[in-house]
Amino acid sequence: MGEYRYNIDEKGRLTIPSKIRYELKDSCIITRGLDKCLFVYSEEEWTNIIKKYRELPNTKDARNFMRFFLSGASVCEFDKQGRVKISGPLLEYAHLEKDCVIIGVNDHLEIWSKELWDNFMTENLDDLSDIADNLFGSNI
């Protein structure tokens, strides 16, 4: 959980916060996420996801989603400065150029361009109360 702001360098390297690196150990899997962000998973959580995908029916939707999700996935190891190197196609997909926002979302991280994250927050802020009511009722 949390929200962190970092800059991606000209070589496509992004620092992952130290307390998150500790939980991820030596590496993570980065892939295309939804809403033009990247998803970051621990190797353990990635294994769980792959198990779930193997149980999906062989439908067009399942095949297409797996193509989208898995084709961009790569194992990324942390360098001595706690950075990961993000591939060119993933940088392009998520519009990552300089200012980035890393957020914790349950079982994974999301990496957003600052511009897209700010747009997401602006567009959804007024609806969050209604969304929470619809999802949780009065249990929040």
For 91-131, the DSSP string reads HHHTT-SSEEEEEEETTEEEEEEHHHHHHHHHHHGGGHHHH
Q: State the total domains in the chain.
A: 1
Cα separation, 32 vs 87, whole angstroms: 11
Q: Distance between terminal CA atoms of the chain? A: 17
23 — pLDDT class (breaks 50, 70, 90): confident
Contact 114, 101 (CB under 8 A): yes
- Provide the whole-model pTM: 0.90
Q: What letter represents residue 91's amino acid?
A: L
Task: For residue 77, give the amino acid letter.
Answer: E
In whole numbers, what is the pLDDT of the chain averaged over residues?
92
State the residue for tokens 């193509």. 67
Q: What is the CATH number of the domain that holds 83?
A: 3.40.1550.20
* Domain encompassing residue 22: 3-136
Average the pLDDT over 98-105 and give the result.
Answer: 96
Distance, CA of 34 to chain centre: 8
Provide the pLDDT confidence category of residue 125 given band limits of 50, 70 and 90: confident
d(CA 85, CA 92): 13
pLDDT per position as a tens digit, 45-72:
999 999 998 999 999 999 999 999 999 9
